[in-house]
Amino acid sequence: MLKELNFIRILDDLKGIQRAAYVLGGERNENSAEHSWHVATAALVLERYANDEIDILRVIKMLLVHDIVEIRAGDTILFDDQAMETKAAREALAATELFGMMPQDTADELRYIWEEFESGQSADALFANAIDRLMPILLNHNCEGKAWRQHGVSRAALIVKSQQIKDASEELWGHALTLVNDGFEKGWLTS
């Protein structure tokens, strides 16, 4: 059996990793597989709004694989400071195991692109991170800030943690800020 087919089988587990965000108007939590589809497709239709020139294939590859490490390391909530401290080490171990299941060249390519996403420095990684930060704002705004209220998120903290949207796209940041301010006015975010 091909090594890749075994890797693809294991990917099925990402459908069982629960995120903080809610989908379908607040009906249930999102899982990391459907989230990965949503951000990759969003990047596809928002490409033109990037501040800098980007390579959309690399951006989409990043978004397709960016959460795969959660199959071993679990989802870490952005506003859980304690869990965020150990996130990098836990995920690096998971990356070694999971990408290492494949032939060396494929493993190396995906490991490199995942690390580029994580460091968030290149124009491609910045745009991919921006879409990843934009999506929970859209989803929270869709269901009366359900996850924001549940985790007591403040507007100030959300703006700080969404800075990558501004760095990647002034235009998307303008729209994101409108949604954040609207959520604050409606009482879904604290100050």
181 lies in the site for a copy of itself, by CB under 8 A: no
The DSSP secondary-structure symbol of 190 reads: B
177 lies in the site for a copy of itself, by CB under 8 A: no
Q: How far is CA 177 from CA 25, 79, 96, 184, 185, in A?
A: 21, 18, 37, 10, 12
> Residue 57: is it exposed, middle or buried by C-beta count within 10 angstroms (0-12/13-18/19+)?
exposed
Beta strands in 86-127 (DSSP E): none
Specify the residue, 121 or 178, whose C-beta has the smaller distance to a copy of itself: 178
Pick the piece of the chain touching a copy of itself (CB under 8 A) from 42-50, 87-95, 114-122, 155-163: 42-50
Contacts of 175 (CB under 8 A, 6+ apart): none
Total count of residues recorded for the chain: 191
Name the minimum Å distance from CB 76 to a copy of itself: 19
Specify the residue, 122 or 190, whose C-beta has the smaller distance to a copy of itself: 122
> Which residues contact a copy of itself (rule: CB under 8 A)?
1-2, 4-5, 7-9, 11-16, 23-24, 27, 30-31, 33-34, 36-38, 40-42, 44-46, 49, 56-57, 60-61, 64-65, 102, 106, 110, 135, 138-139, 142, 171-172, 175, 178
